[in-house]
Amino acid sequence: MKRGVGQGGYSLREKIFKKLRKDILNGKYKAGDSLVEMKLAEEMGVSRTPVREAIRQLELEGLVSSIPNKGVFVEGITRQDIQDIYAIRECMEGLAARWAIERIDEKTLKELENIYDLMEFYTAKGDLDQVGELNSQFHDIIFESTKSKPLMQVLSDFQYYIENIRLASLKAPGRAMQSLIEHKAIVQAFKDRDIEKGERVLVEHIRNSRLNVERMPRA
């Protein structure tokens, strides 16, 4: 079977959704740009149907807005949005820490430690892209450990929104090492099942990340 969007993953719709979302978040499509179904479909070598469905999902996420019979326009996310997201995370990750420490099982805890070890390794090696990827996994594991669908959904989405800027900010001088230390403290609190400490260090980690991002030069 030949496909125009690339193999792997599953339905066309899903692949298209992810591709468009990525392209909006990394700036290929800028705020105000119009997305024409037919044009996108041709570019990707598919029909309008899966493109439409992907767009409907982007619409729900607020990444595009659609004016009936007129067109779909990119909303994107602004620098202000990113700051807001950090502020929201700062208050929600405290909850996440609490719930995760209460509910995480030994196997997942080991996984978390393992990811931390890899972060250590790749930080020493200087492969920050890899560290960024591990960073996402690290926090995703915490989200999932909360066993809370509402919390997971919000935080996972937000984490994806800010992935690019987060990756860039990891490259600020000294930040990678500082971030590593913070993750170490988080892992330790989880191993000790110390809820109060876990809340504190995780929130502090988010705050430091936010401050680091705010110090960054505007893209």
Question: Which residues would be at the binding site for DNA (CB under 7 A)?
Answer: 1, 4, 11-13, 34-39, 46-50, 52, 66-72
- Judged by beta carbon distances under 5 to 8 A according to partner kind, the member of DNA, a second copy, none in contact with residue 149 is a second copy
Contact 51, 44 (CB under 8 A): yes
Q: How far is the CB of 164 from DNA (least distance, A)?
A: 26
Q: Considering Cα of 6, then 129, then 138, then 108, what sign does the dihedral take?
A: positive
Main-chain dihedrals φ then ψ at residue 4, nearest 5 degrees: -90, -15
Under a CB-based contact definition with an 8 Å cutoff, are residues 92 and 151 in contact? yes
Q: How far is the CB of 46 from DNA (least distance, A)?
A: 4
Q: Are 88 and 194 in contact (CB under 8 A)?
A: no
Q: Which does 107 bind (CB under 5 to 8 A by kind): a second copy, DNA, none?
A: none
Binding partner selected for residue 35 from DNA, a second copy, none, CB under the kind-specific 5 to 8 Å limit: DNA
Nearer to a second copy, 26 or 153 (CB): 153
Positions touching a second copy (CB under 8 A) are 10-11, 13, 49, 52-53, 56-57, 59-62, 68, 77, 80-81, 84-85, 87-88, 91-92, 94-95, 148-151, 153-154, 158, 161
In angstroms, the CA 167 to CA 38 distance is 33
> Based on CB atoms, which residue is closest to DNA, 49 or 78?
49
Nearest-approach distance from CB 42 to DNA, in angstroms: 10
By beta-carbon proximity to DNA, the closer residue of 38 and 124 is 38
123, 174 in Cβ contact below 8 A?
no
Q: Residue 6: CB partners within 8 Å, gap ≥ 6?
A: 15
Instruction: Compare residues 14 and 33 and give the one whose CB is closer to a second copy.
Output: 14
Tell me which of DNA, a second copy, none is bound by residue 208, counting a contact when its beta carbon lies within the kind-specific cut-off of 5 to 8 angstroms: none
Nearer CB in complex with DNA: 35/203: 35
Backbone φ, ψ for residue 71 (5° rounding): 165, 175
SS (H, E, C) 191-209: HCCCHHHHHHHHHHHHHHH
Considering CB distances under 5 to 8 angstroms, the limit depending on partner class, which of a second copy, DNA, none binds residue 30?
Answer: none
Q: Do 128 and 176 contact (CB within 8 A), yes or no? A: yes
Shortest distance, position 31 Cβ to a second copy, whole Å: 12
